[in-house]
Amino acid sequence: MKKNVYMVQATYLNGKTVPIPYAVGALAAYAWKNSTVADNYELAEILFLRENIDDAISRMRDPFYVGFSSYMWSSFSCDYHNFAIIFAFRTKSVT
């Protein structure tokens, strides 16, 4: 059975648009080219819309790994940095 991997690059809805999660998408595309990764891990979901953390976690099924995007400027923005930390702690507490 493959292990579930989730990637998070959450951003706000801007009108009717949301930026594509390019960083985590590119990372996943590169990783899943490797046959060992493809044979053993399933990219279960890329979470790209900033939503209620508990709702997002409730959709996760047996997460083996949850990866978060992190940019240099994110450390200067307490908003995203805090969101990612809270999301990580809540994910850890339910798995």
Query: b/e for 32-51, b at 16 or more Cβ within 10 A?
Result: eeeeeeeeebebbbbbbebe
pLDDT tens for 5-55 read 999 988 877 888 888 889 999 999 999 999 999 999 999 999 998 889 999
pLDDT at 91: 80
> 15 is written with which tokens?
């009108």
Q: Checking DSSP bridges between strand 3-11 and strand 41-49, what pairing results, if any? A: parallel
pLDDT tens for 79-92 read 666 777 787 878 87
pLDDT at 76: 58
pLDDT at 72: 63
pLDDT at 78: 61
pTM for the full predicted model: 0.81
Contacts of residue 23, defined as CB under 8 A and 6 or more positions apart, other chains included, come to: 9, 69, 71
